[in-house]
Amino acid sequence: MKTLAVRQITLAAIVGALYVTMSYFSNIFGLSYGYIQCRFSEALTVLPFLCPSTTWGLFVGCIITNILSPYGAMDLIFGSLATLLAGLLTARCKNKWLAPLPPVLCNGLIIGGMISFQEVGFTSAFPAAFAFNACTVAVGEAIACYVLGMLLLEALTRSRILPERKALGAE
């Protein structure tokens, strides 16, 4: 049983390292921060569907990535918590087609709200700013999760290399 725990920790660490590397790579193209955030690393947020322990690797990877965020401590806290919440919800999904939905919704709402707050505060302009930012962040997240993430899920499902594969009865 200890071997499985070591595998889970190792896999979470690998996923965290991949998340950081892929996020910084996305930043080269200006995709990691801003209105439309299409981080390549967000494709990894579907992994908790197959292997729930990867949630913690994603969380730590997001913390490390957000150290360089132009949104400062708010992104470090709320951005990382959005990824943690999305991972925990994705791990509970029963259908692989719904696995990308928690990251899209969590990031759209939480990051969209955070960006809006930093832009206009809680003024009368907040609802409009929130609607715009939530939608644009969700669009970038949907591209990363539903296109790249689903390709990743399909490849990993077929390869059967994950140590903690869930039963995929709802394929």
Q: Quick: pLDDT tens for 79-129.
A: 999 999 999 999 999 998 999 999 999 999 999 999 999 999 999 999 999
pLDDT at 35: 59
Instruction: Specify the pTM.
Output: 0.85
Distance CA(138)–CA(144), nearest Å, equals: 10
Residue spans of beta strands (DSSP E) within 29-149 = none
Distance CA(168)–CA(96), nearest Å, equals: 8
Across 8-43, b (16+ Cβ under 10 Å) vs e yields beebbeebbebbbebbbebbeeebbbeeebbbbbbb
Q: Quick: pLDDT tens for 32-90.
A: 665 567 778 889 999 999 999 999 999 999 999 999 888 889 989 999 999 999 999 99
Side-chain half-sphere exposure of 120, counting CA atoms within 13 A: 15
Percentages of the chain per state (helix, strand, coil), in multiples of 5: 70, 0, 30
